[in-house]
């Protein structure tokens, strides 16, 4: 499953050197698990205000990578948190985790194929 729109990704990062792109990607991959863990704690703790904030923040980061599917799922999670909708929230979160993993895999593949 490809989650990155490579044409838009390349357009978005066209003005950055490889070291900057590498740093942005590595920073994301290092922080993603912690961000997801925070959101899971927010869900299980019924802390919708923090969940909305964390989902919004994560959505913004994902947006940099031109990955529409995880972006939309994160947007849905943020909306559910703002409206305090608990029904199916763990399913939406699980989908976000799956898509984030796919995004990380694609980003690491991009780095592996890119010159240093």
pLDDT, tens digit, 9 for 90 and up, residues 41-62: 999 999 999 999 999 999 999 9
pLDDT, tens digit, 9 for 90 and up, residues 60-114: 999 999 999 999 999 999 999 999 999 999 999 999 999 999 999 999 999 998 7
Phi, psi dihedral angles at 91 (to 5 degrees): -65, -45
For the whole prediction, is pTM greater than 0.85? yes
Q: Domain 6-113 falls in which CATH fold?
A: 1.20.120
Confidence of residue 116 (pLDDT cuts 50, 70, 90): low
How far is it, in rounded angstroms, from Cα 74 to Cα 52? 10
Is the separation of the CB atoms in 41 and 70 below 8 Å? no
């Amino acid at each position: 499953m490809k989650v990155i729109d490579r044409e838009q990704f390349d357009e978005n990062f066209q003005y950055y050197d490889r070291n900057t792109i590498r740093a942005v990607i590595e920073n994301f991959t290092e922080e993603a698990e912690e961000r997801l863990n925070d959101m899971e704690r927010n869900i299980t703790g019924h802390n919708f205000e923090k969940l909305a904030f964390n989902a919004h923040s994560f959505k913004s980061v994902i947006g940099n990578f031109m990955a529409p599917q995880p972006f939309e799922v994160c947007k849905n999670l943020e909306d559910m948190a703002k409206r305090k909708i608990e029904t199916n929230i763990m399913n939406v979160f699980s989908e976000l985790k799956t898509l984030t993993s796919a995004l990380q895999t694609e980003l690491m593949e991009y780095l592996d194929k890119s010159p240093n």
